[in-house]
C-alpha cells in the first residue's frame, strides 16, 4: 500500500465513521477502486484505522467521558452529575453487550458472506429509504431538527439502551451504518435527535474500540506484514483529522436540517455504484 492510498483510506474512514452512511461500505468501495486486493489484511486495516476516529470523538467528548469515569469511581450519593455519569455509563455498557456477544459468535461468517459490493449496495439503498421514512414520520408528527423534541440523554432507560444495542447489531451487515442504526434506535426509544446522536457517538467509543482491539490482536501480525507500520500510522492520522471535521459538521447540520440528506445520499450512491459496477 502506498502512502497516498493510506491517506485516502484514512480520510474516507474519518469522514464516514460517524455519519449514517457506513464507513465499512465506503472503505471496501475505495479499496476496490484503488486496486487494493481484498482479504483478511485489507479488512483488518479498514477496522484498525478506526482508532483515529475513536481518538477524535474521545477528544471532542472528553468532558462527558470524564463524567462517566468519575461517576464509576465516586461512591453513590455524590454530586448529581456524577450519578448521571454512572447511569449513562451503565446504559452504554448495556447497549454494547448485544454486539459483543453476536460479534464474537458471527464475525467470521459476516466477513465471509457479507463483505462484498452486492450486500453493501442493498444495505445502502434500504438504509437510505429507512432514513427518508423516519424523516417523513417526524415531519408528520410536527417535529423537526430545530424543535429537537424528546427526552434528554440522561433520561435514557436500560431497556431503551438494550434496544439500541440490538439495532446496532444490524450494522454488522456492511453498508448498513452503525451510526444510522443507533441514532434511529435513540429516536425510537424517545430521545431527542441531539441526545440520540451523542449516545451513538459515545457508544461508538466502546463498540469501535472493542472491534479495533479484537482485530488488532487477531489479525495484527498479518496486517503489519502486508502493509507495514507507516501505512497504518498514516491511515490513523488521516482518520483522526477527518473525523474531527466530520463530527463538527454533522452536529451542526443536524441541528437545523435533520437526517434526510443522508437518506438521499445513500440511495444515489447505491444506484450510481450499481450502474457502474453491474
**Three-state secondary structure of 9-61:** HHHHHHHHCCCCCCHHHHHHHHHHHCCCCCCHHHHHHHHHCHHHHHHHHHHHC
Residue 143: the pLDDT is 58
Render pLDDT for 220-271 as a digit per residue (tens, 0 to 9).
Answer: 899 999 999 999 999 999 999 999 999 989 888 887 778 889 999 999 999 9
DSSP assignment, residue 174? Answer: T
The x, y and z cell numbers of residue 85, run together, are 455519569
CA-based nearest residue to 172, from 235, 101, 221, 243? 101
Closest CA to 95 of 167, 30, 154, 37: 167
How far apart CA 139 and CA 263 sit, in angstroms, is 15
Rounded CA gap, 262 and 258, in Å?
9
Low-confidence ranges of the chain (pLDDT < 70): 76-78, 108, 111-114, 138-148
The whole-model pTM stands at 0.86
Question: What number of other Cβ atoms are within 10 A of residue 197's Cβ?
Answer: 25
pLDDT at 142: 59
Q: Give me the residues paired with residue 151 across strands.
A: 191
- Average predicted confidence (pLDDT) for the chain: 87
What is residue 83's predicted lDDT score, i.e. its pLDDT?
A: 87
53 contact partners, CB below 8 Å, separation of at least 6: 13, 14, 17, 18, 23, 204, 208, 239, 240, 243
All cell numbers assigned to 135 = 424523516
Q: How far apart are CA 200 and CA 250, in angstroms?
A: 13
The Cα 154–Cα 125 span in angstroms is: 33
Say if CB 163 and CB 273 are below 8 A apart. Answer: no
pLDDT at 114: 66
Asked if residue 123 lies in contact with residue 173, where contact means CB atoms within 8 angstroms, the answer is yes
Given this model, what pLDDT does residue 151 score? Answer: 87
Domain-wise residue ranges, the chain? 3-277
Distance CA 220, CA 228 (A): 10
Beta-bridge partner residues of 243? none
**Which of 14, 12, 10, 17 lies closest to 179, judged by CA?**
17
Amino acid at each position: 500500500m502506498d502512502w497516498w492510498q493510506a491517506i485516502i483510506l484514512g480520510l474516507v474512514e474519518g469522514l464516514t465513521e460517524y455519519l449514517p452512511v457506513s464507513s465499512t461500505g465506503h472503505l471496501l468501495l475505495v479499496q476496490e477502486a484503488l486496486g487494493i486486493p481484498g482479504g483478511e489484511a485489507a479488512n483488518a486495516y479498514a477496522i484498525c484505522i478506526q482508532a483515529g476516529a475513536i481518538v477524535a470523538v474521545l477528544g471532542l467528548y472528553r468532558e462527558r467521558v470524564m463524567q462517566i469515569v468519575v461517576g464509576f469511581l465516586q461512591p453513590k450519593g455524590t454530586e448529581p452529575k456524577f450519578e448521571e455519569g454512572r447511569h449513562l455509563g451503565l446504559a452504554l455498557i448495556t447497549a454494547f453487550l448485544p454486539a459483543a456477544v453476536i460479534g464474537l459468535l458471527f464475525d467470521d461468517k459476516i466477513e465471509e458472506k457479507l463483505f462484498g459490493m452486492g450486500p453493501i449496495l442493498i444495505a445502502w439503498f434500504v438504509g437510505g429509504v429507512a432514513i427518508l421514512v423516519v424523516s417523513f414520520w417526524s415531519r408528520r408528527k410536527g417535529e423537526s431538527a430545530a424543535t429537537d423534541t424528546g427526552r434528554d440523554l440522561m433520561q435514557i432507560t436500560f431497556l431503551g439502551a438494550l434496544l439500541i444495542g440490538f439495532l446496532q447489531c444490524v450494522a454488522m451487515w456492511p453498508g448498513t451504518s452503525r451510526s444510522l442504526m443507533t441514532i434511529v434506535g435513540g429516536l425510537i426509544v424517545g430521545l431527542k435527535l441531539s441526545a440520540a446522536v451523542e449516545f451513538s457517538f459515545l457508544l461508538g467509543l466502546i463498540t469501535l474500540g472493542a472491534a479495533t482491539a479484537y482485530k488488532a490482536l487477531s489479525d495484527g501480525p498479518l496486517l503489519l506484514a502486508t502493509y507495514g507500520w507507516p501505512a497504518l500510522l498514516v491511515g490513523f492520522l488521516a482518520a483522526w483529522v477527518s473525523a474531527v471535521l466530520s463530527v463538527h459538521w454533522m452536529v451542526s447540520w443536524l441541528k437545523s436540517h435533520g437526517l434526510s440528506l443522508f437518506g438521499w445520499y445513500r440511495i444515489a450512491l447505491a444506484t450510481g455504484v450499481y450502474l457502474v459496477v453491474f
